[in-house]
């Protein structure tokens, strides 16, 4: 990481763009390969069921937007690019979305992201206990939000059943 942070901005931006483009395209092709392999098993016919066709149509229509927006998230990027490959999103739709998202990601990471990472590393070096408590607090907030959303969804589905 220090090597990228020491590069001129344009070079760092290009390096980050190249890194993320390689990563998302490898993930896409892993998804495509997995589905191609799955198609040759006894369960392969499930890929041609009406639900699978509807899911593919949904990904064909909205998938490029999901791919671009995934670059603004933490943790969903890989899953969405893998799903795009598994759904066999055509390259003419996937590649522009991957390029656009990669540009956004590289810009964010080269500006805000590296500065935030450097600040985080400085905090962790100065106070490992404080850094650990910050991570624990962030994890607790995530668990709390997920729990609340699940409870609301369960209550809402229970209300619609009654």
Q: Provide the pLDDT for residue 104.
A: 92
Name the residue ranges covered by the structural domains of the chain. Answer: 2-126, 128-162
Query: In this predicted structure, what is the pLDDT of residue 53?
Result: 67
Per-residue pLDDT of the chain (162 residues; tens, 9 = 90+): 567 667 788 888 899 999 999 999 999 998 888 887 876 777 666 656 676 666 677 777 778 888 888 888 777 788 888 888 888 888 999 999 999 999 999 998 888 776 776 777 787 788 888 878 888 888 899 999 999 988 888 888 777 765
Taking the whole predicted model, whether its pTM rises above 0.75 is answered as no
3-class secondary structure for the chain? CHHHHCCCHHHHHHHHHHHHHHHHHHHHHHHHHHHHHHHCCCCHHHHHCHHHHHHHHHHHHHHHHHHHHHCCCCCCHHHHHHHHHHCCCCHHHHHHHHHHHHHHHHHHHHHHHHHHHHHHHHHHHHCHHHHHHHHHHHHHHHHHHHHHHHHHHHHHHHHHHC
CA distance 46 to 32: 16
């Amino acid at each position: 990481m220090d090597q990228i942070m020491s590069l001129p901005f344009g070079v760092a931006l290009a390096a980050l763009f190249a890194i993320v483009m390689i990563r998302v395209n490898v993930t896409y092709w892993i998804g495509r390969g997995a589905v191609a392999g799955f198609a040759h098993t006894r369960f392969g016919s499930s890929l041609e069921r009406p639900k699978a066709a509807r899911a593919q149509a949904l990904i064909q229509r909205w998938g490029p937007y999901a791919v671009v927006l995934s670059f603004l998230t933490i943790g969903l990027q890989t899953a969405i690019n893998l799903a795009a490959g598994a759904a066999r999103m055509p390259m003419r739709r996937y590649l522009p979305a991957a390029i656009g998202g990669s540009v956004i990601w590289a810009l964010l990471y080269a500006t805000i992201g590296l500065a935030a990472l450097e600040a985080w590393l400085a905090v962790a070096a100065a106070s490992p206990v404080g850094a650990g408590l910050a991570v624990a607090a962030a994890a607790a907030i995530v668990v709390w939000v997920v729990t609340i959303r699940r409870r609301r969804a369960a209550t809402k589905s229970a209300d619609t059943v009654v």
